[in-house]
């Protein structure tokens, strides 16, 4: 076996090992898991997630996922907790402690300190019979047979299982809270993801010029309007109502069809009943309309009044595509 084949084989075995471990987790989701989720959902406090080593890194990610999906959460490093950070925990908080073995020295020191309070303790561990498992009020059983590491030492499969169990926990809470896409947008206002959830057509159209002609406008002036407004299109408007659209494509087709364009007007070459959207339409929904109809622009209106144009290039610039 050459070097590249050996690398590919190792990678495939790693993925297969972790895939099987995740698949087995479905058999470990039981009533105790449901009771733990129900308790968190009905609690008045936050979720404090703790761990050491690689489990602490997973705890950080779970905290981030919980916070972004409507469940207030805080990370507390288990080692720091026994040196003053226990003050993070308030009386109504729920503590989730993550440890593959459930028997690490830091965990054995931390658990009795946690039990001195009245906070419920949820364990996420591979071993339900560990010190952590036996002391916890609820156990999220993230069991794995072996690590992907050939020496069964480096946390690999176990941290993947913890991550997936944390995602399952977060999504269950999300559904219990009826956490909507609008709620999600409030927590993710930045970047392309946030824009897909909150950016509306009117926000984009407001930054564009507003190409407008009336039905009797000469073709020459139509061409000038399209060129000056830089959107490859103009709306044909009568009494503020959209009656048609003229695009670059319409101009090209007209030039192929007519040798003399001196007497032509907008109404002679426009497309009637063009696609349009209201200003409150989400930009991502406008993109879907464009894709489904094979067009690059949409006219925008509110209460039947023409207000502007949105172009495919606008969506690209905003990161919607």
Q: In 3D, which of 227, 217, 230 has the Cα closest to residue 297?
A: 230
Which residues lie closer than 8 Å to 15 by C-beta, 6 or more apart?
none
Taking the chain, what is the end-to-end CA distance rounded to the nearest angstrom? Answer: 43
d(CA 180, CA 144): 33
**258 annotated to a ligand binding site:** no
HEC-encoded secondary structure of 224-286? HHHHHHCCCEEEEEECCEEEEEEEHHHHHHHHHHCCCCCCCEHHHHCEECCCEEECCCEHHHH
Q: Are 275 and 295 in contact (CB under 8 A)?
A: yes
Q: Which two tokens stand for residue 291?
A: 């894709």
Which position has the token pair 């076996």?
1
d(CA 190, CA 317): 15
Which residues lie closer than 8 Å to 32 by C-beta, 6 or more apart?
138, 139, 140, 141
Q: Which residues are annotated as a binding site for Zn(2+)?
A: 77
Q: Which residues are annotated as a binding site?
A: 77
């Amino acid at each position: 076996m050459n070097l590249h084949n050996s690398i590919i084989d190792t990678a495939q075995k790693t993925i297969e090992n972790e895939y099987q471990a995740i698949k087995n987790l479905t058999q470990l989701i039981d009533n105790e898991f449901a009771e733990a989720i129900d308790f968190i959902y009905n609690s008045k406090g936050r979720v404090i997630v703790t761990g050491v080593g690689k489990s602490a890194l997973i705890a950080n990610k779970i905290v981030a996922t919980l916070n972004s999906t409507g469940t207030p959460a805080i990370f507390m490093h288990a080692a720091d907790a026994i040196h003053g950070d226990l003050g993070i925990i308030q009386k109504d908080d729920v503590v989730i402690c993550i440890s593959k073995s459930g028997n690490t020295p830091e965990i054995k020191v931390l658990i009795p300190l946690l039990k001195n309070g009245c906070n419920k303790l949820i364990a996420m561990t591979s071993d339900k019979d560990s010190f952590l498992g036996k002391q916890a009020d609820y156990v999220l059983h993230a069991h794995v047979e072996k690590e992907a590491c050939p020496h069964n030492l480096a946390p690999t499969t176990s941290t993947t299982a913890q991550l997936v169990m944390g995602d399952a926990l977060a999504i269950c809470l999300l559904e219990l809270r009826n956490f909507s896409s609008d709620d999600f947008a409030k927590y993710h206002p930045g970047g392309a993801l946030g824009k897909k959830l909150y950016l509306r057509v009117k926000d984009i159209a407001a930054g564009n010029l507003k190409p407008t002609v009336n039905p009797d406008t000469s073709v020459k002036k139509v061409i000038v309007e399209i060129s000056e407004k830089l959107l490859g299109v103009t709306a044909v408007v009568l009494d503020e109502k959209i009656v048609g659209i003229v695009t670059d494509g319409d101009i090209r087709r007209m030039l192929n069809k007519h040798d003399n364009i001196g007497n032509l007007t907008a109404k002679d070459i426009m497309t009637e009943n063009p696609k349009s959207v209201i200003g409150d339409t989400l930009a991502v929904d406008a993109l879907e309309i464009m894709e489904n109809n094979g067009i690059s622009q949409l006219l925008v209106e509110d209460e039947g009044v023409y207000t502007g144009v949105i172009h495919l290039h606008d969506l690209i610039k905003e990161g919607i595509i």
